[in-house]
Structure 1
C-alpha cells in the first residue's frame, strides 16, 4: 500500500445517536491495524469491553477523525504516520513511521 498522504475518514455505518463534539470523552470499541499489511496490533474486543477515553489524550488522527461521529455508528480512520506515532516505535508491534487504520464503533459519549 502506498504511503498515506492525509487522514481519511470513511463512515461505514452512520449512527443515529448524539454527535461527538471536539474534545469529548467517548466510549468505543476499536481495532487498530498497520496499513502496510493489515496486521492487527490492538483491539478492544480482546478485553470484551469498550474503552473510555478523552479525545484530547489520543493520537491526532483520532482527535481529528472522531468528532462528527454519531453514537451507534462505525467509522474507519486511515491515519498517516504523522498523525499517529510518527518516528517513534509506539509498541513492539507498531514500527516507526507506520500508517495506521482503525475501525471504530462508537458506543457512547460521556
Structure 2
C-alpha cells in the first residue's frame, strides 16, 4: 500500500539533500541543516525556519508542480499544459524525485 505521508517526508528529505549538495556552504541557510532529520508537522517546520514560505514561482516552476499531482493521482484535469509537458518540467525542476510512470 502506498504510504502518502511517508512518501512526502522522503521527498522533503531528498529536497533537503539536493539543497545541501547544490549550495555553497557559505550560502547555506542554517535551518537547512536542522531539517535533515525533521519528522514533525508543518507547524513545527514553520517554527524551525522562522517564517511562512510564500512561493514566488515563474510559470515553468509553477507548471512543474502539476507533475507532482500526476505522480500522486495519475489523472489531473484542467491543467494549462499537457501531461507530457508537465512531467518533463517536473523532472527538470525536481530531479531528486523518481517518477514511476
TM-score, structure 1 as length reference: 0.26
Structure with bigger strand share is: 1
**Structure ID, larger Rg:** 2
Structure with bigger helix share is: 2
Structure with the greater relative contact order (CA < 8 A, sep ≥ 6): 1 or 2? 1
